[in-house]
Amino acid sequence: MAKRTRNESDQSGLLRCRIRQTVRLGEENCNRWVRRRSLSLVVLVASILPLKTIGQFLQTVICHQDKVKLMELGAGNAVLEAMNKHKGNAKVQQEGCGAMCRLCSRTDICKPLVKLGAIEAISSAMKSHLGNMEVQRVVCEVIANLARVPAVRAVLFEENAEDWVNEAKDRFEYNADLVAQANRALENLKSPNACSHTGIDTH
């Protein structure tokens, strides 16, 4: 058993070495590598990809159809790692939230995402980029999707997510798309079950 673990570790280390060498060859070569490799390998090395290629990885998650497979490969964790690594970059936060939004379009993926730290990530994105309309809009959309699940809705309620959404709505009241997503989030958050904590462990 230990031997298999060591082999897996060796393979992971070799792959990371190769991607670092590819990165040094230039951004276009790195992007080409990401396009040609399987999604599982891209997820594995996502945390060490350069900034623009991380954006490409996030777009891959957004477009991929098999959300369950993505989660099994570790895409949820890779998305959150990318967001945590680049908290000050609005584009990464926007695309990261977009990737999460697509993942949690399936209600059975919402709780696993929250356990990985999704609520902390969207809170950080929203508070760090108050003036960025696209970040605010997509966070409202993520909240709307997450809030469909009672256990997650309760956590969002306790974290005062309703206040986040109302502030974004007031700040960008002229943007119809953001207002629509905010209203959808508020509607889901105000479900009758929102005040009852259902025991989800986010730690």
Give this prediction's pTM.
Answer: 0.75
Q: How far apart are CA 35 and CA 54, in angstroms?
A: 12
106-133, pLDDT tens digit by residue? 999 999 999 999 999 999 999 999 999 9
Q: The domain 2-195 belongs to what CATH superfamily?
A: Leucine-rich Repeat Variant (1.25.10.10)
Task: Give the residue extent of every domain in the chain.
Answer: 2-195
Encoding tokens for residue 169?
A: 């709505």
Q: Please state, for a pLDDT cut of 70, what percent of the chain lies above it.
A: 67
